[in-house]
């Protein structure tokens, strides 16, 4: 991922200079220009994350991944407003910085989808996790308080402002061994009665996975299946060129079959 880091940190500095950054990493690197916390690879994923969170002094964090590239300035006033809501409202543990319409099926085989259909379970995997219950003019409940979550998008690994204490409780309860989303997160959220909000201000939908975010304009994600995701984000071309990244090393994502193709200039 060395070809990813320069652009990731560069875009953060360019578009969110007021935000402090910490990287959780398996081995300290001189190529990372921000604070680093090293995790123990002998621990499972959740325990690694908990240990690193405990090394962060701040009580509130923004969850990120290294290929979530910002492509415009964040809205610092809205970000502060959302943070203040988490601080003041005991019902709100997190604010997800984008809307997600449904659980995408593109990553699964047709055989898996047909199997779910035969069991009448497909609705569970495509269920709309967007409650449309307003909290204010740009925030909606992921699910309202006292209403149980139903889908894997209840917990989503997207840029999210979190109460760190509640995020630690969630990771302790879930205690999964590997990185990824799944029903175990939903069960843990329900058990702990952790609730949150998502941002939406009439932004357009981008591909299958989410809507754009004018409060936190980012690429979801720059790398898909090992390839540059210019298929959904033409903004990536300018970023790749700005950081002198060789696109031929990875190639582009092919819109027809989700496999790589050669980078095309012009």
Q: What pLDDT digit, counting tens, does each position of 174-231 carry?
A: 887 667 666 778 788 888 989 999 999 999 988 766 899 999 999 988 888 888 888 8
DSSP 8-class letter at 169 = H
Give dist(CA 163, CA 132) in Å, integer: 23
Q: Are 238 and 261 in contact (CB under 8 A)?
A: no
Q: Are 156 and 212 in contact (CB under 8 A)?
A: no
Give the E-state strand segments of 84-236 in sequence order. 94-96, 139-141, 160-163, 196-199, 205-206, 210-211, 223-224, 227-228
Q: What pLDDT digit, counting tens, does each position of 87-137 carry?
A: 999 999 999 999 986 544 444 555 655 665 565 544 444 444 445 788 999
160: pLDDT strictly greater than 90: yes
Give dist(CA 137, CA 151) in Å, integer: 25
For the chain, the structural domain boundaries read 60-221
On whether the pTM is more than 0.95, the answer is no
Give dist(CA 206, CA 149) in Å, integer: 24
Give dist(CA 117, CA 47) in Å, integer: 35
């Amino acid at each position: 991922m060395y070809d990813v880091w320069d652009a990731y940190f560069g875009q953060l500095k360019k578009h969110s200079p007021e935000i402090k950054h910490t990287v959780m990493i398996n081995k300290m690197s001189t190529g990372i220009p921000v604070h680093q916390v090293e995790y123990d690879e002998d621990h499972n994923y959740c325990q690694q994350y908990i240990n690193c969170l405990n090394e962060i002094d701040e009580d509130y964090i923004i969850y990120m991944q290294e290929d979530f590239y910002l492509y415009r300035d964040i809205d610092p006033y809205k970000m502060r407003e959302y943070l203040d809501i988490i601080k003041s409202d005991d019902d709100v543990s997190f604010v997800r910085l984008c809307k997600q319409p449904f659980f995408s099926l593109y990553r699964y085989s047709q055989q898996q989808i047909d199997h779910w259909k035969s069991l009448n379970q497909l609705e569970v995997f495509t269920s709309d996790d967007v409650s449309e219950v307003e909290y204010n003019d740009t925030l909606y409940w992921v699910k309202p308080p006292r209403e149980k979550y139903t889908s894997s998008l209840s917990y989503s690994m997207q840029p999210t402002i979190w109460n760190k204490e509640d995020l630690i409780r969630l990771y302790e309860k879930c205690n999964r061994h590997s990185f990824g989303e799944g029903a175990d997160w939903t069960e843990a959220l329900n058990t702990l009665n952790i609730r949150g909000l998502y941002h939406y201000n009439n932004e357009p939908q981008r591909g299958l996975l989410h809507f754009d975010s004018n409060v936190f304009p980012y690429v979801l994600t720059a790398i898909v299946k090992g390839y540059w995701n210019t298929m959904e984000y033409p903004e990536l071309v300018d970023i790749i060129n700005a950081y002198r990244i060789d696109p031929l090393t990875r190639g582009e994502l092919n819109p027809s079959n989700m496999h790589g193709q050669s980078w095309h200039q012009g």
